[in-house]
Amino acid sequence: MLHIVDDEEAIRDSLTWLAKSRAISSTSYESGEKFLAAFDNTIVFDAEGDCLLLDIRMPAVSGVALFDGLDKQGLTRRMPVIFLTGHGDVPLAVDTLKRGAFDFFEKPFNDNKLMDRVEEALASSRQAGAAAAVQARLAALSNREREVLDLVLDGKMNKVIADRLGISMRTVEVHRAHIFDKMNVKTAVELARLLK
């Protein structure tokens, strides 16, 4: 989902149309406050990725303040930010790039180049989301399951794992089944591919 935050209605309409021309779902907000209100109520990331197109200078909550708030919460990796700047805002935009913004475009911007970067940001968001999902699954494993997982990834057979951990082969089989279930894989090869 492309989130467009700009206080100029014409810009929001234009960006919404551009997104639609690339089959990118989008929603727009006239201010940082409206975005934050919507985001606070629906902190569910889109499986297709999220990207925030953000005007640097807006009344009340500026684009930079909004970016800083999202960055402090660790959300800018999952929702990359592309800044839109007016003339004279370039040094400020460069500073945001150094602090982790995905990109910035000066108004007036090249439509195709902007949408190309939006698609790259969405792809980056999808990758970050997939990585976060794998980390969440790993966190659901018990300490013993993590030990078994490490040995499975080392290519050890159940008997070797049982000997190494001082448990029965049947217990290894149970842990292995739980690991595969929690990690949503069917084989050790899939597991290795997921965690590479």
Structure confidence by residue, pLDDT tens digits, 67-104: 998 888 888 888 999 999 877 667 777 788 888 899 98
Phi, psi (deg, nearest 5) at residue 109:
-110, 160
Cβ atoms within 10 Å of 37's Cβ, excluding its own: 12
Report the DSSP beta bridge partners of residue 85. Answer: 106
Which ranges of 73-110 would DSSP assign to H, the alpha helix?
Answer: 90-98
CATH topology of domain 2-137: Rossmann fold (3.40.50)
Report the DSSP beta bridge partners of residue 82. Answer: 53, 103
Find out whether 53 and 84 touch, Cβ atoms under 8 Å: yes
CATH topology of domain 140-195: Arc Repressor Mutant, subunit A (1.10.10)
Supply the pLDDT for residue 38. Answer: 85
Residue range 26-56, pLDDT digits in tens: 999 999 999 988 877 666 677 778 999 999 8
Find out whether 164 and 151 touch, Cβ atoms under 8 Å: yes
How far apart are alpha carbons 115 and 119 in whole angstroms? 6
Model pTM score: 0.77
**Per-domain residue ranges of the chain:** 2-137, 140-195
Q: How many residues does the chain have?
A: 196
Supply the pLDDT for residue 139. Answer: 93
